[in-house]
Amino acid sequence: MTQFAIEEQILGVARTLSIRGEFVLEHVSAADAALLRAGSDHARTLIVSLSECEFVDTAAIATLHAAFRRAQGGAGMEIVATRGSEVRERLERTGLDRVIPTFGSMRAALAPATAQAGDRMPTELFGDWVDSSS
């Protein structure tokens, strides 16, 4: 089991929170504080990556939904969850993937935010720079 951790990063027009380990009730307080802090940056889309998250419980789902509602006053919020993963299946079963835009990769999640800003996608993570207008 991976230890629970949250890592924050700015990628151009997006602020990302990567959550690792099991996102369960005992970690909701720390996650909500990080989501609140990151979500206060109304100039950037908040992207929550659950790609390295092993499990989410109903408290975590509720926390993500509350963060999404708060982010609607700003640049919005998206989720990254690997297709076929237990976490992605949980998001689909609860319907959260129909409420919060959910993508299979960080690159896919960054594309709408960068296109909306008319910016270049900060793909140093992917080895090159990509013009999102093409």
- Please give the torsion angle defined by the CA atoms of residues 23, 93, 9 and 105, in that order, rounded to the nearest 10 degrees: 130
Task: State the average pLDDT over residues 64-86.
Answer: 90
Confidence grade of residue 120 (pLDDT, cut at 50, 70, 90): low
Please compute the mean of the pLDDT values over residues 64-74 and round it to a whole number.
89
- Is the domain covering 5-131 a CATH 3.30.750.24 domain? yes
The pTM for the full model equals 0.85
Q: Is the pLDDT of residue 133 over 70?
A: no
* pLDDT (average), residues 14-18: 95
**% of the chain beyond a pLDDT of 70:** 86
Q: CB atoms < 10 A from the CB of 119, how many? A: 16
